[in-house]
Amino acid sequence: MPHPDTTQPPHPSPAAAASRDQHRSPASASSRAPHPTPGSAASRDQHPSPASTASLAPHPSPASAAASRDPRPVRRPAPGVTARPLPRNPYLRLFAVPGTRAFTAGNLIARLPAGMFGISEVIMISAAYDSYALAGSVTATGLAASAVTAPWVARLVDRHGQARIAVPAAAVAALGHLALLLCAHLHAPAWTLFCAIALAAATPNTGGMSRARWAHLLRGDAAALHTANAFEQATDELCFMLGPVLAAVLCSALFPEAGALAATVLFLTGVLLFAAQRSTEPPVAARTAAGSPLRAPGMVPLLAVFLATGAIFGSMEVTTLAYVDGPLAGPVLALQAAGSCAAGLLYGRARRTAPLRTCLAAMTLLMAAPLLVSGMGSLLALAAGLLVAGMATAPTMVTGMALVQRLTPPSQLNEGMTLAVTALLGGIAAGSATAGWTADHAPSPALGFVLPVTAAALALTLCATTGVDRRARG
The CATH number of domain 99-285 is 1.20.1250.20:
yes
Tens digits of per-residue pLDDT, 243-280?
877 887 888 788 888 888 999 999 999 999 998 988 88
Higher pLDDT, 437 or 67: 437
Amino acid 87: pLDDT: 65
pLDDT at 86: 62
pLDDT reading at 92 higher than 50: yes
CB 83 within 8 A of CB 23: yes
215-230 as b/e, with b when 16 or more CB fall inside 10 Å? bbbbeebebbbbbbbb
List for the chain the helix, strand, coil content (%; round to 5): 75, 0, 25
Q: Could you read off the pLDDT of 170-197 as tens digits, one per residue?
A: 999 999 999 999 998 998 998 999 999 8
Q: What is the mean pLDDT of residues 117-124?
A: 81
Poorest-confidence range of 68-77, 112-121, 204-213, 231-240?
68-77
Q: Could you report the per-residue pLDDT of 36-84, keeping only the tens digit for each? A: 444 444 334 444 443 333 333 444 443 344 333 333 333 444 454 444 5
**DSSP of 109-160:** HHHGGGGTHHHHHHHHHHHHHS-HHHHHHHHHHHHHHHHHHHHHHHHHHHHH
Number of C-beta neighbours around residue 464 at 10 A = 16
Mean pLDDT of 338-347: 82
Output the CA angle 452-453-457, nearest 5 degrees.
Answer: 115
Helix (H, G, I), strand (E, B) or coil at 8: coil
What whole-number distance in Å separates Cα of residue 290 and Cα of residue 311?
A: 30
pLDDT at 4 over 90: no
Average pLDDT over residues 200-223: 84
Lowest mean pLDDT among 7-16, 223-232, 244-253, 301-310: 7-16
Q: How far apart are CA 280 and CA 274, in angstroms?
A: 10
Query: Residue 61 has what pLDDT?
Result: 41
Equal fold, 99-285 vs 293-474: yes
Residues 6+ apart with CB under 8 A from 420: 302, 303, 306, 400, 401, 404
Residue 311 has pLDDT above 50, yes or no: yes
- Going from N- to C-terminal start, the domains of the chain cover 99-285, 293-474
Q: Which CATH class is domain 293-474?
A: mainly alpha
pLDDT score recorded for residue 472: 53
Position 26 pLDDT exceeds 60: no
Read off the pLDDT band of 10 (50, 70, 90). Answer: very low
Average pLDDT of span 121-144: 79
- Cβ neighbours of residue 204 closer than 8 Å, sequence gap 6 or more: 153, 154, 157, 165, 166, 169, 170, 173, 271
Please give the Cα distance from 48 to 427 (Å, whole number). 62
Under 8 Å between Cβ of 130 and 280: no
Largest distance between two CA atoms of the chain:
93
Q: Residue 307 is inside which H or E element, if any? A: helix 299-324
Residue % of the chain over a pLDDT of 70? 77
Q: What is the pTM of this model?
A: 0.67
| pLDDT, averaged across the chain | 76
Three-state SS at 311? helix
- Rounded Cα gap, residues 193 and 247, in angstroms: 20
Residue range 386-404: average pLDDT?
86
